[in-house]
Amino acid sequence: MRDSAPILLVEDDRVDAMTVKRALKDINVCNPVHLVGNGEEALEFLRDDKAPRPGIILLDLNMPRMNGLEFLKVAKQDERLKQIPVVVLTTSREERDRVESFNLSVAGYMIKPVDYLQFVEVMRAINLYWTLSELPG
């Protein structure tokens, strides 16, 4: 993936996290992946000066404590965080989730496929997008 910027994966499900990591490995993306379990932990990580600043955030919506949409509301208010592209990775096909996510300026909204091989394809698309899209410096 783009340079070697780290990827922040916000995901509470261990198998889903494994799926993402495995799929990235399968398409030869070697950027470091930092895993946090919910929105609170994600904000904590992002605001920690010692922690590396991620190049992209892969965000699950349904999480304990602070869910994806709640995280987006806070992050997009934060001058330092709002430029980091966020791609939602979720099982929810609900229109309201999609609408709300885009209202909160997400860069993409991907449904997690049940089939692993399709999941790999989704990760390939995200990689392609992130690699080709021009981003603020």
How near is the Cβ of 126 to other proteins at its closest, in Å?
Answer: 17
Nearer to other proteins, 6 or 113 (CB): 113
Distance CA 54, CA 118 (A): 25
Note whether 16 binds other proteins by CB under 8 A. Answer: yes
Note whether 18 binds other proteins by CB under 8 A. Answer: yes
Per DSSP bridges, beta strands 7-10 and 33-36 are parallel
Q: Is 109 within 8 Å of 86 (Cβ atoms)?
A: no
Nearer to other proteins, 18 or 51 (CB): 18
Note whether 15 binds other proteins by CB under 8 A. Answer: yes
Nearer to other proteins, 99 or 135 (CB): 99
- From the DSSP assignment, how many helices (H) and strands (E) are in the chain? 5, 5
State the distance between the two ends of the chain, measured CA to CA, in whole angstroms: 16
3-state secondary structure of 26: helix
Q: Taking the mean position of all CA atoms in its chain, how far away is CA 70?
A: 14
Beta-bridge partners for 56: 7
Contact stretch for other proteins (CB under 8 A) within 42-50, 73-81, 86-94, 99-107: 86-94
Contact stretch for other proteins (CB under 8 A) within 2-10, 48-56, 81-89, 106-114: 106-114
| Residues engaged in binding other proteins (CB under 8 A) | 13, 15-16, 18-19, 22, 61-62, 90-95, 112-117, 119
